[in-house]
Chains A and B, each alone.
Chain A
Amino acid sequence: MATNSEHSIVNSALAKDRLGAGGVAQFALTAAAPLLVVAGLVTTGWAVTGVTGIPAGFIALAAIFAIFAVGYLAMARRIVNAGALYTYVAAGLGRPAGLATATVTLLAYSALQVGLYGALGPVTADLMHTQFGWNLSWWVYSLTAWALVAILGVLRVDLNSRILAILLTAEVLLVVVITVVGLANPAGGNLSFSTLAPSNLITAGSAVALAIAVTGFIGFEQAPVYAEESRNPRRTVPIATYAALALMTVLYAGASWAMSVTAGPDAIVDAAREHPTDLMFFLAAPHLGDNIGTIGAILFISSMFAGLLAYHNAVARYAFALGREQVLWRGFGRTALRTSAPITASVVQSVTGLGVILVYALAGWNPMVQLFFWGGTTGALGILLALTATSAAVIAYFARVGGAESVWQKIIAPAIATVALAVVIWWTLTNYSTLLGVEPGTVWAWALPTAYAVAAAIGAGWALILAGTRRDVYEGIGRGVNTSSDDLEVTSGVPVGGVRR
């Protein structure tokens, strides 16, 4: 990319097609789906875990992520690659660690995406029941959304960015209004700060509050993915990252605190258990009228749908990038000629989603808790692992290559972030049964985290096999779609151009 931008016809023409900070932040926030977090994740979190200090968790985690971002963004300026996380780990900690991060991240995003079907179905079913008296099962709506996502994914059609911007703005406004009204009408007449208090972070429930908060913030790490598409990556990406992080923190901590204030900190868990899909709007209804429930539910559903599509595309692109590097099955690197969509990866994710929805429907498992909440928190654990590895990779990378960045960027901030994130992971793992709301020792409490150990072992093991057998492919790990090539391969089933090193 050219650095000399003054009066360049080429640069100014290309800049028109590129994203500004607002555009990049919008993509990050769409993946985060703010209304989904406050109206779905937080309320389900209260109901499942009984831990009230979730608002404090958001603030503590925002601080950790802000420090993490210092090193992360310094590295993003050096390595412009749409694969982001795993390419940084490959560059810093070596290719086996990079590939382990890739498989863990892929599994995590996939769990987050499929998990969303578990919330969209029940919320839509409730809305249809109250509005039209329909009594269809949750999975009917989940499958409808699934079909739409599957089709849009293959056609490489994203929701129009203007429509997304309007929906996102409406969501944010709704959250702000409900927050302000909620704080103005505290239960019992006195404003309680108890759910925000730092003391929440030294109780047994702190791990749970932090783990739930991680789920909410996922998406903030996405800005460097858009570096190549942005007008001025050096400015755009950091602004978008910090802006998204700041907005999320204010919205999440504010809205969840307000809900606890309106219901009363002692009553919030019971209220959440009584209103699994509409707590936020139920609490606001006495002050804003009954229509707030309908408006809220519609925006809630659109927020989830936008999130579903965003995650679907994120998973498909991740698998596509790995397929092109030939580190995963190379079929993943195939695109559809007519649409340039990463077709195989997209279809595989859709088939996964369909399978999971059908299993939950047939087994009669609780979609809101066992699919949405478990998928979301388990996905968050995977992203947390990847972020921690990335943070450690930043230190290793700068130790090796040096550079003009400050010691704060190269060592101190990433070191603090690595330790803090590692502590959060440790707490989360030791409290996993509380997080899932199951008895300690239940199979799920160890099986879900173990899946990441298996994924990481497969990734690292495969990298070591490649190192011994296919050195050319091994050397290419972490190059993403920028894999360079001297020869073009022409066999069927090879991606566009079939690039090989």
Chain B
Amino acid sequence: MRLADDLFLIALDDRTGRFRLEAGTLGLGLGGAMLAELVLAGTIVLSPERVTVRPRASPPDSVTHAIMELLAAEPQHSLRTWVTFLARDAVEKTAERLVRDRLIRREETRTLLLRPGVVTYPAVDPSQVFWRSARVTKLIEDQAITEWSDCVLVGLTNATGLTRLLLRDADDAARHYMQWLIEQLDSSPGLPHLFTAIAQAAAARAMTNRR
């Protein structure tokens, strides 16, 4: 779950432990990251209408095992439905894993109002969190991405809007490089559809009331 972990830590403010991206949209990105992980492992193929599990595919790890079983059991759902479904508890699940790995702590602040407490995730070592964003920014600015997984990570940060933070001070060359980079994924088994599904679901959040 390297992609989800990276995305989570990029979205996290290393000083405050709060998210720099609205949690619901982050969840969509993390849900998408889980699917992207499976695509990279060669176990699923994506189209806008379907998520298809490849025959005799074996899951890369135990976390993805449960997801794969569900994907195989309910093949009728669209890609966007899967992203929305996986997004529901993606933030909490990713946070649990990162807490176990001692990268972040979970802190809950009690509030006087009727609302539930505010949860923050302060970094155990802020530089470890900061590094995740800095690494991607530097790779894009240096036009030096060589791994497919980093290319997909850039696609995920773009679909959730996080690249607005990563490339805040970047020049046009870096932006064009990023666009070129994402285009390289056009030949992948459905990753551009995944980015579109995430971006659409994120835009739909702006159209809805927060409840």
Chain A contact residues, CB within 8 Å of chain B = 1-4, 8-10, 13-14, 17, 27, 82, 156-158, 161, 228-229, 313, 317, 320-321, 324, 333, 335-342, 481-492, 495-499
Contacts and interface: CB of A to CB of B under 8 A. Distances in A.
A318 B88 CA distance: 26
Given A341-B206, A492-B175, A484 B85 contact: no
A8 B74 contact: yes
A400 to B, nearest CB: 24
A82 B161 contact: no
A339 B84 CA distance: 18
Contacts of B22: 156, 336-340
Interface string B179-199: 100110010000010011011
A488 B182 contact: yes
A418 B117 CA distance: 52
A339 B210 CA distance: 10
A341 B206 CA distance: 5
18 contacts: A8-B77, A9-B73, A14-B88, A340-B206, A342-B206, A487-B183, A488-B158, A490-B163, A490-B167, A490-B176, A492-B164, A496-B203, A497-B195, A497-B198, A497-B200, A499-B199, A499-B200, A499-B203
Interface in B24-66: 24-25, 48
Give the interface size class of chain B: 35 or more
Given A82-B207, A337-B161, 4 more contacts: A4-B76, A484-B196, A488-B195, A490-B176
Contact of A335 (B78, B161, B162): B161
B112 interface: no
A488 B84 contact: no
Nearest to B180: A490
A488 B210 CA distance: 27
A380 B207 CA distance: 23
Nearest to B162: A337
Contacts of B202: 335, 340, 496-497
A338 B20 contact: yes
B199 A497 contact: yes
Contacts of B199: 485, 488, 496-499
Given A2-B78, A497-B195, A497-B198, A488 B19 contact: no
B36 to A, nearest CB: 14
A489 B70 CA distance: 33
B203 A495 contact: yes
Nearest to B163: A490
A229 B209 CA distance: 10
B81 A484 contact: no
A17 to B, nearest CB: 7
Contacts of A341: 206
Main secondary structure of the interface of B (DSSP, over half): helix
Contacts of B161: 335, 337, 495-497
Given A340-B25, A488-B199, A496-B161, A9 B206 contact: no
Contacts of B73: 9
A497 B206 contact: no
A428 B141 CA distance: 61
Contact of A497 (B159, B165, B179, B183): B159
For the complex of A and B, the 4 pairs showing the least CB-CB separation, nearest first, are: A497-B199, A496-B161, A340-B22, A481-B203
Nearest to B211: A161
Among B183, B202, B206, chain A packs the most CB atoms within 10 A around the CB of B206
Given A13-B85, A14-B84, A27 B209 contact: yes
Interface in B136-195: 155, 158-165, 167, 175-176, 178-179, 182-183, 186, 192, 195
Nearest to A495: B203
Nearest to A487: B183
B118 interface: no
Contacts of A161: 209, 211
A340 B210 CA distance: 10
B93 to A, nearest CB: 14
A2 B159 CA distance: 24
Given A490-B158, A492-B175, A317 B76 contact: no
Contacts of B88: 13-14, 17
Contacts of B204: 82, 228, 481
A440 B117 CA distance: 60
B82 interface: yes
B109 interface: no
B111 interface: no
B103 interface: no
A387 B186 CA distance: 41
Contacts of A17: 88
A328 to B, nearest CB: 15
Nearest to A481: B203
A356 B107 CA distance: 45
Contacts of A496: 25, 159-161, 199, 202-203, 206
B14 to A, nearest CB: 16
Given A4-B76, A488-B182, A337 B158 contact: no
Contacts of A9: 70, 73-74
Contact of B211 (A3, A158, A321, A336): A158
Nearest to A160: B211
